[in-house]
Structure formats: C-alpha cells, structure tokens
Amino acid sequence: MTRVFSGVKPTGHLTLGNYLGAMRQWATVDQHRAESLFCIVDLHALTVDHDPARVRRLSRQAATLLLAAGLDPELCTVFVQSHVDEHARLSYVLECVATDGEMRRMIQYKEKAARERARGGSVRLSLLTYPVLMAADILAYGADEVPVGDDQAQHVELTRDLATRFNQRYGYTFVVPRATLPTVGARVMNLQDPLSKMGKSDDSGPGIVYLLDEPDVVRKKVMRAVTDSGREVVYDREARPGLANLLEILASCTGGNPSELSGVYESYGALKKDTAEAVVEVLRPVQERHKELCADPGYVEGVLRDGAERARAMARPTVDAAYRAIGLLPAT
Ligand code: ATP
Ligand code: MG
C-alpha cells in the first residue's frame, strides 16, 4: 500500500493556504487511499525566533484543526514530531550525507534567513539544517508520497537526493519519495501582496485568511484584497496576480477552473463577493468541528498519544537500519 507523510509547523495559526494546499487533500483523498501519517512538526517551529508557550499552544491547536479538517485517527496516524525520537536520530545521520552548499541553495532558507536578519535577529543553525530534518521526517516512514503545497517541492526534491545518495553509498535503505501537489490551490497568495505566498508566520494579518477567522472577518479580508486598476476579469497570473489569486481561491473552493470562472464575472466586486462566500462555506464545517473538539481536549490528547506510539513503531526499524548501514555499532 502506498505510504504518505506530510506535516504542518506550529509557527502560527493555520491558514486558508495550508488548507487548500495541503490539509484538504490529506482529509478527502490521501487518508482514504494510502497508509498516511500527518505530523505537527514542532521541532521545525524552533528554527526561527519563537515563544515556547505559543509553540505549545499552537501545536495543540494544529492537532485539533487537523482533526477538525477531517483527518480520522481510524484511517491515518496523527502525531507530534517531538514525541518520536526517530526524527532527530535520523536527521543527524542524514546531515552526514548532505552538504552545506545544498542547504544554502534552499529558497525557503534564503527567504527566512533574510527575514530574520531584517528583523535584527540572528539566523539559527537549525534554519539551515531544517530541510535535513524534514527529509528525516519523510524517510523514517518509508513514505512514497508527500502531499504538499508548491513551496515545499524543493525540500522534497532534496529529500529524494539524500535518499538516493544514501542508498548508493551505504546500500538500499530508503524509499525515494515524490511530492504530490494539488492541481489548484498549490500556492495561495497573500491577499494584500499577491506576489508572496500566504504564510502563517507572516506578519501581514489582513492578507492572510486564518482557518478560525469569523465569517465577517473572512469577508472583509477578501473584499479588501489587492487587485489592479483594470476592469475586465481575466485569468493571467503574470499580469494580474491579485485577480488570478482570487480566481484560484474561488476555483479551489468550488471545484471550478480559474480561467473558465474568469468568463463568468463582469466586475471585481462580484468576483470578490462570491469568493468570500465560497471561503466562508469551506471553512464553516471545519470551524464547527473545531469547536466540538475544543470541548473534548482529552480526545485530542489520546489521538496524539496513540499516533506517536504507532509512528514510533513504524519509524524505528528504518532508522535502525540506517544506523547500521552507515557504520554505527548496534547496541546489544
Ligand atoms: P510558515 O510561514 O511558518 O512556513 P506555512 O503557512 O508556509 O508556515 P507550513 O507549516 O510551512 O505552513 O506548511 C504546511 C503545508 O501547507 C505544506 O504542505 C505547505 O506546502 C502548505 N502551504 C503553506 N502555505 C501555502 C500556501 N500559501 N498555498 C498552498 N499551500 C501552502
Ligand atoms: Mg512554510
């Protein structure tokens, strides 16, 4: 059976981008057709300036939202990365096959490092080595597929390189995974800055729709989305990025096609209104279920406990095999 692994970082409140780009596919497709693991990758949240209490709170919230989005612990494994030691164990070994040049070429590293520096902060070494830990997350489980948004494609490519290199040098150990991207919604852009991805750790509040935003807040954010001064509704990512983003969000929420939808609208206002309502409708069931789950924190804790146990049992044999293959003496 195909195995799938993916995750979210507790670096901020989950966004519409996280949902349309990743979580929805996990819930509606992946968990039903593959042996799937979905992880709150909390170690990755420590790679930038962070507040410990907030990371803990966001981890719990992310777990609750994954379940609210429809992940079913009967069908998939939901767990927290730091509860399973194998991720960190394997990461070190993979650091011994990765190069520093490879790490420095990662787009996300360059962007996030520049942001930290612009804020007057220093860049944590873990930000540089982050993609190796992500490779460990995936390879520890022998995942065949990694359903992610477009921004993570480069990291999955690196994971493939590391797995292939390790296998060539030390003998076949890792499944070489591939990224699976959604056809629409793979890159939801910031509503105020349609040239940047909507990211949960960004500062620009009004440009980001959070999964827990009240309907009126969603409407306001979408209605105020930056477009351009043109009048005609056309789908052109290069020339009209703001408009294209709205058409893609609408298409992703309603199952339509952005260029066909562009023909339906005569004004920006009407497009924005329908997009806002479509987003509100997509978020409604997630928010309702989230509320129910918040009333039962013991349930979420139980899911995470079971999930970590299952994940550990799956990861240990592969990580042990990698330790043996690379030359470490097994403990007896
Ligand atoms: P951060 O700003 O901390 O990097 P993020 O919003 O990018 O947060 P991640 O935890 O890095 O979220 O990613 C979780 C999943 O959501 C990944 O599969 C990622 O590709 C996807 N994703 C994130 N942002 C978007 C987006 N704007 N559009 C589509 N998919 C996205
Ligand atoms: Mg990200």
CATH code, domain with 149: 3.40.50.620
Q: Quick one: 301 and 286 in the same domain? A: no
Q: At what angle do helices 268-294 and 215-223 cross, to 10 degrees?
A: 150
Atom of ligand 1 nearest to the CA of 14: 6
For 116-135, write each residue's pLDDT tens digit.
999 899 999 999 999 999 99
11 with 27: CB under 8 angstroms?
no
Domain extent at residue 315: 3-181+297-326
Q: Is the pLDDT of residue 276 over 90?
A: yes
Whole-number pLDDT of residue 229? 80
Q: Quick one: 27 and 145 in the same domain? A: yes
Q: Is the pLDDT of residue 204 over 80?
A: no
Which protein residue's CA is at the shortest distance from atom 14 of ligand 1? 8
CATH code (residue 285): 1.10.240.10
Which protein residue's CA is at the shortest distance from atom 23 of ligand 1? 18
Q: Quick one: 304 and 213 in the same domain? A: no
| Count of domains observed in the chain | 2
Whole-number pLDDT of residue 302? 98
- B/e letters for 180-217, b = 16+ CB within 10 Å, e = fewer, are bbbebbbbbbbbbebeebbbbbbeeeebbbbbbbeeee
273 in a structural domain: yes
Amino acid of residue 275: T
Q: Is 272 annotated as a binding residue?
A: no
197 in a structural domain: no
Stronger pLDDT, 258 or 230, i.e. the higher one: 258
Confidence of residue 168 (pLDDT cuts 50, 70, 90): very high
For 49-106, write each residue's pLDDT tens digit.
999 999 999 999 999 999 999 999 999 999 999 999 999 999 999 999 999 999 999 9
Q: Quick one: 283 and 311 in the same domain? A: no
Whole-number pLDDT of residue 231? 82
Q: Quick one: 51 and 114 in the same domain? A: yes
Stronger pLDDT, 311 or 181, i.e. the higher one: 311
Which protein residue's CA is at the shortest distance from atom 7 of ligand 1? 199
63 with 23: CB under 8 angstroms?
no
Q: How far is the CA of 35 from the centre of ligand 2 (A)?
A: 24
Q: Quick one: 174 and 322 in the same domain? A: yes
Structure tokens, 222 = 């979408």
211 in a structural domain: yes
Confidence of residue 283 (pLDDT cuts 50, 70, 90): very high
5 with 166: CB under 8 angstroms?
no
Q: Quick one: 223 and 308 in the same domain? A: no
Ligand nearest to the CA of 48: 1
Q: Quick one: 17 and 99 in the same domain? A: yes
Q: Is 137 annotated as a binding residue?
A: yes
Q: Quick one: 109 and 209 in the same domain? A: no
Helices (H), 119-149: 125-139
279 in a structural domain: yes
Q: How far is the CA of 74 from the centre of ligand 1 (A)?
A: 25
Q: Quick one: 287 and 258 in the same domain? A: yes
Nearest in space to 254 (alpha carbons), one of 91, 1, 24:
24
Q: How far is the CA of 320 from the centre of ligand 1 (A)?
A: 31
Q: Quick one: 157 and 10 in the same domain? A: yes
Amino acid of residue 310: R
Which protein residue's CA is at the shortest distance from atom 25 of ligand 1? 17
Whole-number pLDDT of residue 22? 93
Determine which of 60-74, 164-178, 199-213 has the lowest per-residue pLDDT on average: 199-213
- Whole-angstrom CA distances from 141 to 71, 87, 94, 116, 304 are 19, 10, 14, 32, 17
Q: Quick one: 148 and 78 in the same domain? A: yes
272 with 43: CB under 8 angstroms?
no
Whole-number pLDDT of residue 280? 98
Q: Is the pLDDT of residue 167 over 90?
A: yes
Strand order in the sheet with 35-40: 76-80, 35-40, 3-8, 145-147, 178-180
Q: For tokens 């206002």, name the residue.
A: 269
ipTM of the complex: 0.98
Q: Is the pLDDT of residue 210 over 80?
A: yes
When the pLDDT of each residue in the chain is averaged and rounded to a whole number, the result is: 96
Q: Is 199 annotated as a binding residue?
A: yes
**H/E element holding 5?**
strand 3-8
Whole-number pLDDT of residue 228? 82
Q: Which residues contact 87 (CB under 8 A, 6 or more apart)?
A: 43, 81, 133, 136, 137, 140, 315
Atom of ligand 1 nearest to the CA of 147: 18
Whole-number pLDDT of residue 253? 96
Confidence of residue 7 (pLDDT cuts 50, 70, 90): very high
